[in-house]
Amino acid sequence: MGLLAYFNGQFVPLAEVKIGIQTHALHYGTACFEGIRGYWNPDAEQMYIFRLREHYERLANSARTIRMKLPASVDELCDITVELIARQGLKEDVYIRPLLYKSNEIIGVRLHGLDDAFVVYALPFGKYLDSEQGVRCRVSSWRRVEDGAIPARCKITGSYINSALAKSEAVEDGYDEAILLNDDGHVAEGSGENIFLVAGGELVTPALSENILPGITRNALIRIALEEMGMRTVERKVDRTELYSADEVFLCGTAAEVTPVLEIDRRPIGNGQIGQTTRKLQKLFFEVVKGVNPKYAAWCRAVYPVTQRATP
């Protein structure tokens, strides 16, 4: 079976999903979205979708902020997403993209009085960044959007031009990823990831008030680090120079997972190698998302009936 999408209340072939060139969201960025990963565990013969409900709850928050409504409840959208994967029989890691957008084909900048449409689809998806070997970053000349201008806590399509500018600048300058500062000059996040430092035996990450996205992977790692490693996380303002003096730095997110940073602005982080804390968190994270650690089973939504699982 080919790839499917849930579009206009029906499951249809993904290739048949089209929107018109006059669609409001295309012209004005009036849409919000999520990125969700599903992990295939071959030993259990099961697909686990990581923190599915939390992603739809965040989509609901984004929608409220830009005056949109989801077409169904969070629980119903979770069930639709599970059915979407199951109908396709996908047995590899996938990336799931729900998108809520203003669908009117009109000219005019506004949010009020417009119709909302929803689509969700899933694609086979591997690594977004090189989490095995690590990445090189640069601090971007572009600043992170301010919440008072474009809601920084929401995944709004139009705001991602900010990330695109920073990412292309970094890659074209020979780096793998960008790190953005906020307008106060403090560290915010990557172009599509949250950021952590390891310093003085603690994890340090920019506070939510620093115009960062409230990352679902970020939240999970804070809990995993505390409960599995006894390592607390300090959420605060982070100065740019703290990046250079940190023992370790890593990026995290649905796409990036846990990606070590080896170098920033041509300065090696620590000894320039992947640090022990980052490696341990990586290992713990993948045990969680693949459904291996039963302690975090509530974070993993199984797609296929339990009876289909192989006997260990």
* Residues designated as active site: 155
Which residues lie closer than 8 Å to 73 by C-beta, 6 or more apart?
none
- Closest-CA residue to 272 (of 135, 129, 132, 131): 135
Asked whether the beta carbons of 206 and 190 are under 8 A apart, the reply is: no
Distances (CA, A) of 187 to 36, 39, 144: 25, 31, 9
Structure-token match 């449409």, residue found: 117
> Cα dist. 101→51, 79, 118, 133, 244 in Å?
23, 20, 6, 37, 40
- Report which of 153, 164, 145, 193 is spatially closest to residue 66, judged by C-alpha positions: 153
Nearest residue to 205 (alpha-carbon basis) of 235, 168, 245: 235
Yes or no: say if 208 and 235 are a contact pair by the CB < 8 Å rule.
yes
Task: From residue 265, give the alpha-carbon distance in Å to each of 46, 141, 174, 239.
Answer: 41, 12, 11, 14
68 closest CA partner among 7, 111, 106, 119? 111
Kind of pairing between the strands at 46-50 and 36-41: antiparallel
Listing DSSP states for 94-147 in one string gives EEEEEEEEE--B-----STT--EEEEEEEEE---SS-TTT-EEEEEEEEEPPPT
Residues 59 and 138: beta-carbon distance below 8 Å? no
